[in-house]
Structure 1
Amino acid sequence: MDEIVDQIWNLLHAGANAGIERSPFTMLQAATVGVDGAPAVRNVVLRRASREERSLVFHTDVRSQKVAELRKDARISIVGSDLDAGIQIRLQGIARIVEDPEETRPAWNLSRPRSLIVYRTPLIPGTPVASPEDAFAKADPGEDGESAGFENFCLIDVSISKIDYLNLHPSGHVRVSLEYDGERWRRKWVAP
């Protein structure tokens, strides 16, 4: 089982550190409890994974619906999969919305300009528009320069408490459940 736990974190680290070639675990699906109580799922880009801190981090617009949902209920579920390898990793945890510039500025500075342009739009994500062009941010950041839109940028830092690993291996499916009890991970094999 130690090898599987190592594999889980290696896959998440690869997803967070993907370069030109993306890892299957770079784009994850995050599920929250909608403000109306309905489930809400969307894709997020994994930016950091820390085994030591039991943490995953992604960026988002502080004005987004997911932030409103997490302010109301910080529980979050995240799933990633490598369809070619037949591996699925499901994670559960509590999200912390990080808005402190001392914590967000380094992530902003490491981000590509094309990733940051979405934070410059004056519209709240999900605002209805007459055409796609109406939602585009100005190409010229103006006097704010490289910091244009920074006020809308935040991090979501997820403290992981449960992990479910499934490998649909041709010689037999393997599933492991991990749960953090406040001091250590409790591991068990479970039926796929």
Structure 2
Amino acid sequence: MIASVHQELWQNLGAATRSRSPFTTMQLATIGTDGAPKVRTVVLRQVDEARSTVSFVTDLRSPKVAEIRRDPRVSLVGYDPQGGIQIRLEGRAVILAQPEDKKPIWDRCRSHTLALFQTPDAPGTEIASPRGAGGTLEHREGNEQAFRNFCVVEVELQRLEWLDLSPEGHQRCFFRRTAGSWVGTWIAP
């Protein structure tokens, strides 16, 4: 049964990148540059089971980039309220800012997402009033500044955890990556 949980976990993550699902958005935790924990929502963009990685995008000017560069250990958590399933992921993040590394995901993002990267203000900058991102990015190839600000964060997973909170009885297991393969163990919920 634990092997089927591992398979289901990866299927849920993969489905989250193809269409909206409860695991499309996950909460990312980092260690802030001040040493305090920081948590925010990210959108999964790519899952590679063979490489044991998940990826999301962010603005290169974002505080989370500095946090990850300082301490690459991260944790992500997602929850499906309908199914009562929580997935936790732990690993080491790498910032992919080179054009050849980020272009494949850039090409798959929608224009309204890419428009966020063309704003003059870095994420977290204090501004006089709320305002939109300034429209949509009409020509992906023509906005060099947005592409420069865009980066991919790839997390090489080292631990996966699955928690079933359904009324039938809670179950929990974790998987640790050892020597390139995953080993699972049941644990008390």
TM-score range, shorter chain: over 0.9
Aligned counterpart in structure 2 of residue 54 of structure 1, from 26, 29, 52: 52
Instruction: Say if 2:156 is the partner of 1:173.
Output: no
Aligned counterpart in structure 2 of residue 157 of structure 1, from 154, 159, 163: 154
CA RMSD, 1 decimal: 1.7
* Secondary structure of the structure 1 residue equivalent to 2:104: helix
* Secondary structure of the structure 2 residue equivalent to 1:178: strand
TM-score between both structures, scaled by the size of structure 1? 0.92
CA contact (8 A) 2:89 2:161 kept: yes
User: In structure 1, what is the equivalent of residue 7 of structure 2?
Assistant: 6
TM-score between both structures, scaled by the size of structure 2? 0.93
Cα drift, residue 146 of structure 1 = 4.6
Cα drift, residue 183 of structure 1 = 2.9
Correspondence 1:128-143 to 2 at 5 A: 128-133=126-131, 136-137=133-134
Correspondence 1:1-192 to 2 at 5 A: 1-18=2-19, 22-133=20-131, 136-137=133-134, 145-192=142-189
CA distance in 1 between partners of 2:105 and 2:185 (Å): 36
Q: Per-residue CA shift, 1:125-181, capped at 9, x if unaligned? A: 110011012x63366779x73545100000000000001110013221110111112
Greater RCO, CA 8 A, separation 6+ = 2
Runs of 5+ consecutive residues of structure 2 not aligned to the other structure: none
Structure 2 CA distance for partners of 1:172 and 1:64, relative to 1, 3 Å:
same
CA distance in 2 between partners of 1:45 and 1:94 (Å): 17
Identity of aligned residues (%): 41
CA distance in 2 between partners of 1:4 and 1:81 (Å): 15
CA contact (8 A) 1:122 1:137 kept: no
Residue-pair matches, total: 187
Q: Per-residue CA shift, 1:54-108, capped at 9, x if unaligned? A: 0000000000000010010000000001011100000100001001101111211
Q: Which aligned segments of 4 or more residues in structure 1 are displaced greater than 3 angstroms? A: 135-142
Supply the AA of the counterpart residue of 2:151: C
